Structure 1
Amino acid sequence: MITSHIIGQSRIGFNRDLKKSLERCFEFNECFEKNKNYLNELKKKVLYNNWNLKINNNINYINIGDFSFYDHILDNIFNVNCTPKRFKIKNNENFFKNYFILAKGDTNNQPLEMKKWFNTNYHYLVPEYDLDTKFSLNLSILKNDIYFAKIFKKKIKFIIIGPLTFLKLGKIKDNKLKNRLLLLPELLLSYFSLINELNNNVDLIQIDEPILILNLSEIWLKCFKNTYNILCSYFTNIMMATYFEQINAAYLKYLEGINFFSIHLDLINYKKINNFIKNKNIKYNHISLGIIDGKNIWKNNLEKSFYIINDIKKSMMISTSCSLMHVPLDLNSEKFKNKKNKIIKNWISFGNQKLEEIKNLSEIYKLNLYNNKKKYMNKNFIKNIFFVMNKKKSKLVFVKNIQNKIKKININDFKYRINYNLRRNIQKKYFKLNTFTTTTIGSFPQTPKIRKIRIDYKNSAISKNNYENLIKKEIYFIIKKQLDYKLDILVHGEPERGDMVEYFAQSIEGFLTTNNGWVQSYGSRYVKPPVIYGDIHIKNYLTLNWAKYSQSLTQKPLKGMLTGPLTMIKWSFRRIDQPNYITTIQMSLVLKKEIKKLEKIGIKIIQIDEPAIREFLPIKNDKYKHYFNWAIKTFILILSGIKNNTQIHTHICYSEFNNIINFIKDLNVDVVSIETSRSNMSITTTLNDYANDIGLGVYDIHTKRKMEINYAIYLIKIIINNIDIKKIWINPDCGLKTRKWLEISKSLKNIVYCSKIFKNLKLSF
């Protein structure tokens, strides 16, 4: 027997409807309660389209629970009524108002922290727990979704994040709570009540427990076994889902004896599926096979997939490896004009096409079953084989001279620069820098005017010369503003760049950029990851003209801004036909060439942004050392040979760094800037022995809250208490492109003012 389902679908809408609606409300500070009917109708529209796509592709279940107005972890906070007490939410009457205060904050409340969702570029909002945290049931939204779903008269699958994962991914905000598992019994009661209330109206309960792919202590594993022994003894329709990696082999004994209806495995990352299937002590009616890649965009090799599932003598459910929220919606919206891009398009599969792949794979399996397992090939199967083979043989993928360059790289290309203390002395004298140096991370507000200039140029409504003159005027304005703020180190503001990855990808061979390949990064923030289809190389320089013009406008040092090799690769849809480190080295060689030229034209401070350094990290920590071994080398490759008075910065954000700070030290950059504002500077306690300079992000730019002087002083005092003042730089926690000039002007002036207060104190510890 074979059935099909989807782990989850995109919630952004075909035309980014959700983003546009939310940002209109954010923009004009409209009351969400007044717009709740409109927002709920929009939700119905997205669900209606998603469910119809499943029905049209013969997917057996439609989903509820995978839609979210902002974030699925935030949704669960409201499902089980555990909003942090600092928000002082006493009732659920004003749902949208309360919901978005947690997400974005307000004048009285800092929003919830954000962290990366495992090894993806999606950010989730972090639950907060203390000894007084209580859980109770809130079914109002879910019941409405079920009522709407019943109209379709199809099997319904309800999706919820698992109780163990929900606890594990949260943050303890109270020293009195020594172990968050103390909260599990009450949380489990809420889950039990929730499932009990919904069970008569749904056919399948999908409970996501991706933490099973992490390294867990025995107490967590025992709690997992006890939790699901209880749930599965009462409810016979529970599917436990994991994704992004395989379950640790040592954990399988904790699955034994539990009566699951189904267990979902991510086959894209599962190397030893037979070890799982052959374990007769793991009980389930169906094995759910995530054989269609939910994180990448390459066509599934249907022939290979057919042989994999044909060897599994179990009752099966065919599915995606993970939610389709990590890939764009529909390839049919891409209208490529040139021949090369049309060829590449045939190798690609977006979300809607992945539903078709599930349909085709299910049909092929069923037809072969009915035809005595003779290989049955329909038209779609034959086309798939052709395109998969075409990609393997294409000269667009492998470029001989680039491959030869990689082969010639040797140990001499990975030389460290001289000792950092010597470099620091050289640079302090060269740039005449003092303590508490102020700067920004790179981008400044992307105004409607700037966006229109770029769109007009893209649509050939203005000439190249006209475009460049208009952008130069914007850069002039940005430089003047920074001089008014009295910042120490300036940036050109990046008005020519829409996105820190896509901008560079548009000029580099081996990358394909899309028009509508949007995926959610967090909330209403969407990105268009480029597609890396072949070897990376470049004919022209990337940033020289803008950097040269910008530096000509000021005597102050100006940073050249580049996106690092790890981030360029991680935030793109990557090749699967060669190791990541080879692709990353190719990118490093492009950036090395660029930095050499920036040095020659007088740009002596260069920031290489690497916000993805942690999310590229393998999920299993026993693989950390191998990853950092090659990741750090790709960074060192860029810097080998540059001058000692060239100051190298890097920026990393929205990740936990406590357990990898020693690896970050090995990057040996002159200044590393880190997001710290939302976590109340908690990371500073682990940075006291970090030798190089550190830029601390004191201004949270992901909210409209302004940086007040008193709060800036409070944060800087925390920094000084933990870090040597000689190493401290002060900056916002990220780029400013999503903010408005009115919002940032006061904040940046206050940061500079507070930094000068401490600088003039001439503190000595």
Structure 2
Amino acid sequence: MSLITSVVGFPRIGAHRELKKAIEGYWKGRTDLDEVRSTGRALRASHWRIQSDQGVDLIPSNDFSYYDQMLDTAILLGAVPTRYRRLGLAEEDTLFAMGRGYQGPQGDVTALPMKKWFTTNYHYLVPEIEDSTRIQLSSTKPFDEFKEAKELGRITKPVLVGPYTFLKLARGPQGQRLDYRHELIDSVAAVYAEVLTRFIDLGAEWVQLDEPYLVLDKQDGDISLFKSLYDRIMPARHNGSGAVKLLLQTYFGHVDDCYEVLQSMGFDGIGLDLVEGREGNLAALERCGVSQGTTIFAGVIGGRNIWRNDYARSLGLLDAVGRVTDHLAVSTASSLLHVPFSLDGEDGLDEPVRRHFAFAVEKLGELKEVSDLADMDDAGRRASPALAGNQVLFDGSRVQADPVVAERIAALQPQDFTRQPARAERQRLQRSALGLPMLPTTTIGSFPQTAQVRAERARLRKGEIGQEEYDAFIAGEIDRVIAKQEQIGLDVLVHGEFERNDMVEYFGQNLNGFLFTRNAWVQSYGTRCVKPPIVWGDVSRARPITVRWSAYAQSRTDHVVKGMLTGPVTMLNWSWPREDVSHELQTQQLALAIRDEVLDLQASGVKVIQIDEAALREKLPLRRSDWHSSYLDWAIPAFRLVHSGVDPTTQIHTHMCYSEFNDIIEDIDAMDADVISFEASRSDLTVLDAIQAAHFETEAGPGVYDIHSPRIPSQGEIEERINLILGKMDAGKVWINPDCGLKTRGEAETWPSLEHMVAAAKAVRARLAVER
């Protein structure tokens, strides 16, 4: 009999993004809430069935969400700020208003702040707890979905974001950290205790509380906060009518610094990530052991990669845990939310290539096979066809090295990572060469990818039109947006990126070493999904990527046009990286390829080049002691390698979004860009305090309005934002821009918003001129 198997969480968008399509149809008025709810029920039933058919013992429920699990938790606890309550909307519409803002007959509110979920490209909504918030059980969602599964004959394992992680990520009304007062701790713990009690009554056997925040460095009071919460929650596992087992689930790292406390508290199960937190978690187990009655859920099936599991390695990890405790379950290392749904339909990948990959559904099969193998003795494993077939994938013959790429890497010298002259001198030269006004206005790069743009791309792909006809269409779109940008008065223009399907995939299609899928979508935030390419081998530039259309756009106007590139760190972080060579090496290869593109853009007459590093902060290790040695010491030089060869008068921009920048602000300045734009419209601008304190040399464009919301900000609203920025930054170093690209927005929202932005910048410019 095999070990118990458990899945931390499962993708919710559906095999063909059914949830996305249903919700966006509702937002556009084509469907109603009943149809959205019906789609949700069908997806949940399908996902439970798939996991059951694959032999999973503990199948999660309440891992489904219409938008975000942190947002669901806030609603469950009644932490809905007053401005959203006043709208008087249905529960789902309130959730959507909190996630994307609302502008309509019921009122006008902006969305909650949005941040990256630890080191993933998934974005969560930051809960806001007001002083007047009354924390109480306020939603039946977890219970409804458990009962839904039960009616289908399945006893699931309800999953909730744990109270410690929720409170550590939540903020007050102005974005300040919460005061963990006794009343707040007691009220939150009371809700979770009530949740456990209700699940006992409903017949649940296990409840999983996700506490990924435990893998971060601890601050004073963190462990006491955790213990205060769970000391109040744990007794609720038992009542007069029965009991439920509580699984404390951690992931994305190790809990070596607090495991002794965790194992002493009597949890029925502790979930440990043995992929990303392998060394620390194994060390903790060996040092502290496992309490009687506690089962270790060993996370050996990676929840954040698309490569097949190395069974021999996983069995070694399970054997190591098995030497510490007999109470062992086999689990995914984290939720499978962060991988594509299934390999079914990926017939564009040849079988010798395809067999190296495992998406969410395939990982369920791996979970079962590893569990079965773990129950065998050595002789049984040696005779196992499953193990033998798996090990063939790891014989080192998958891909051959590119000697030309290796030679370029070996030839790099220290001067290749340093741009001359120093930035202050470059900025002086650039101001003279570009002739831009104070508070120059620009956008982050992309313009709306309309239905017509997507249709023309599909027609080209299907062979319904030729390349010449498609190129004429793209040229026409560029002409249109160049003229429109001139009309509304933007200072630095962009070509709109109509030829690009995605900021990473498009570049990968013009690089050697990448593979692509047809339907490997992953949720990024809300209904936004991305389809990362796969780094299969050594990377080099196959051909010029952006030069043609950037140069064309510049030829159509006397304004400065900004060339748009994706940086090497973001290229890697938003792809599926190789696991047979280091991330550092892959990033250097990417940097050399993009460097070639930068130099060609400059040679074509492009004077401003933006190299987006939207994901730089995303993969920063969760433990501060690992920041430099494991990441920043090679990530920052890789960016400098990309632009170190350009002329002093060529202005280099970069862009970052939806991350905590304050604690690495000096490293961002060390990227040696001339200008950086970043998300700030959903934040309280504390990053500007960090910029001020660090004597930041890079010019900066904090986003002045939120493009992830359909709201159209007023001129006055943007002026107020600019004035707040100028209260913290020298006007001579400030750029005015939205907080991200406009690809996902509609034309009807985009142009009025930009008109208001330009008008606001001009109004503030005029005021500053008078004051001077």
Describe the SS at the equivalent of 2:640.
Answer: helix
Say if 2:481 is the partner of 1:482: no
For residue 564 of structure 2, what is the aligned residue in structure 1? 561
For residue 422 of structure 1, what is the aligned residue in structure 2? 425
Deviation, structure 1 residue 252: 2.3
Say if 2:310 is the partner of 1:301: yes
**Which one of 494, 499, 504 corresponds to residue 497 of structure 2?**
494
Stretch of structure 1 that moved more, 229-238 or 93-102: 229-238
RMSD between aligned residues: 1.9
Which deviations, in whole Å up to 9, do the C-alpha atoms of 1:385-429 show, x marking residues without a partner? Answer: 22232xx213x3522221232122222222232122211111111
For residue 41 of structure 1, what is the aligned residue in structure 2? 38
Deviation, structure 1 residue 521: 0.2
**Which one of 317, 335, 342 corresponds to residue 347 of structure 2?**
335
Say if 2:13 is the partner of 1:12: yes
Deviation, structure 1 residue 178: 6.2
Deviation, structure 1 residue 27: 2.0
Q: TM-score, normalised by structure 1?
A: 0.95
Q: Superposition pairs for residues 341-490 of structure 1, below 5 Å?
A: 341-366=350-375, 368-369=376-377, 374-389=380-395, 392-394=396-398, 396-490=399-493
Which deviations, in whole Å up to 9, do the C-alpha atoms of 1:418-474 show, x marking residues without a partner? Answer: 122211111111111121101110000111110011111112211111111111111
Stretch of structure 1 that moved more, 494-503 or 134-143: 134-143
**Which one of 266, 269, 278 corresponds to residue 262 of structure 1?**
269
Deviation, structure 1 residue 139: 4.3
For residue 133 of structure 1, what is the aligned residue in structure 2? 133
Deviation, structure 1 residue 595: 0.8
**Which one of 685, 693, 703 corresponds to residue 699 of structure 2?**
693
**Which whole-Å CA distance do the structure 2 matches of 1:625 and 1:303 have between them?**
31
For residue 221 of structure 1, what is the aligned residue in structure 2? 223
Q: TM-score, normalised by structure 2?
A: 0.94
AA matched with 2:63? D
For residue 321 of structure 1, what is the aligned residue in structure 2? 333
Describe the SS at the equivalent of 2:420.
Answer: coil
Task: Name stretches of at least 5 consecutive residues in structure 2 with no aligned partner.
Answer: 238-243
Deviation, structure 1 residue 261: 0.7
**Which one of 286, 289, 304 corresponds to residue 295 of structure 2?**
286
AA matched with 2:449? Q
For residue 231 of structure 1, what is the aligned residue in structure 2? 233
AA matched with 1:658? N
For residue 275 of structure 1, what is the aligned residue in structure 2? 283
Q: Does the 8 Å CA contact 1:229/1:259 hold for their aligned counterparts?
A: no
For residue 169 of structure 2, what is the aligned residue in structure 1? 169
AA matched with 2:346? E
Q: Does the 8 Å CA contact 1:233/1:259 hold for their aligned counterparts?
A: no
AA matched with 1:97? D
**Which whole-Å CA distance do the structure 2 matches of 1:178 and 1:120 have between them?**
24
**Which whole-Å CA distance do the structure 2 matches of 1:463 and 1:657 have between them?**
45
**Which whole-Å CA distance do the structure 2 matches of 1:310 and 1:287 have between them?**
12
Name the CA shift for 1:130/1:144 in 2 (closer, same or farther; >3 Å). Answer: closer
Which deviations, in whole Å up to 9, do the C-alpha atoms of 1:116-174 show, x marking residues without a partner? Answer: 00000000000012322221113422232122111343332010011010000111226
Q: Superposition pairs for residues 627-706 of structure 1, below 5 Å?
A: 627-688=631-692, 689-706=695-712
**Which whole-Å CA distance do the structure 1 matches of 2:517 and 2:175 have between them?**
48
Q: Does the 8 Å CA contact 2:339/2:360 hold for their aligned counterparts?
A: yes
Describe the SS at the equivalent of 1:271.
Answer: helix
Deviation, structure 1 residue 304: 2.4
Describe the SS at the equivalent of 1:638.
Answer: helix
Name the CA shift for 1:762/1:98 in 2 (closer, same or farther; >3 Å). Answer: closer
AA matched with 1:206? Q
Task: Name stretches of at least 5 consecutive residues in structure 1 with no aligned partner.
Answer: none
Aligned residues: 750
Q: Does the 8 Å CA contact 1:258/1:283 hold for their aligned counterparts?
A: no
For residue 240 of structure 2, what is the aligned residue in structure 1? none
Percent of aligned pairs sharing the same letter: 33
**Which one of 512, 520, 523 corresponds to residue 523 of structure 2?**
520
**Which whole-Å CA distance do the structure 1 matches of 2:763 and 2:12 have between them?**
47
Q: Does the 8 Å CA contact 1:564/1:610 hold for their aligned counterparts?
A: yes
For residue 115 of structure 1, what is the aligned residue in structure 2? 115
For residue 64 of structure 1, what is the aligned residue in structure 2? 61
Which deviations, in whole Å up to 9, do the C-alpha atoms of 1:256-302 show, x marking residues without a partner? Answer: 42111110001102114443333236454311011001000110011
Describe the SS at the equivalent of 2:115.
Answer: strand
Describe the SS at the equivalent of 1:129.
Answer: coil
Name the CA shift for 1:176/1:345 in 2 (closer, same or farther; >3 Å). Answer: closer
Describe the SS at the equivalent of 1:437.
Answer: coil
**Which whole-Å CA distance do the structure 1 matches of 2:426 and 2:677 have between them?**
18
For residue 25 of structure 1, what is the aligned residue in structure 2? 26
Which deviations, in whole Å up to 9, do the C-alpha atoms of 1:44-75 show, x marking residues without a partner? Answer: 21111111111111111222110001100011
Q: Does the 8 Å CA contact 2:26/2:36 hold for their aligned counterparts?
A: no
AA matched with 2:253? E
Stretch of structure 1 that moved more, 151-160 or 511-520: 151-160
For residue 208 of structure 1, what is the aligned residue in structure 2? 210
Deviation, structure 1 residue 110: 0.7
Say if 2:253 is the partner of 1:253: no
Describe the SS at the equivalent of 2:737.
Answer: strand
Deviation, structure 1 residue 489: 0.5
For residue 250 of structure 2, what is the aligned residue in structure 1? 242
Deviation, structure 1 residue 89: 4.4
Deviation, structure 1 residue 710: 1.1
**Which whole-Å CA distance do the structure 2 matches of 1:106 and 1:385 have between them?**
53
For residue 535 of structure 1, what is the aligned residue in structure 2? 538
Which deviations, in whole Å up to 9, do the C-alpha atoms of 1:596-646 show, x marking residues without a partner? Answer: 111111001000001101112111111222222211100111122210000
Name the CA shift for 1:68/1:175 in 2 (closer, same or farther; >3 Å). Answer: closer
Q: Does the 8 Å CA contact 2:149/2:155 hold for their aligned counterparts?
A: no
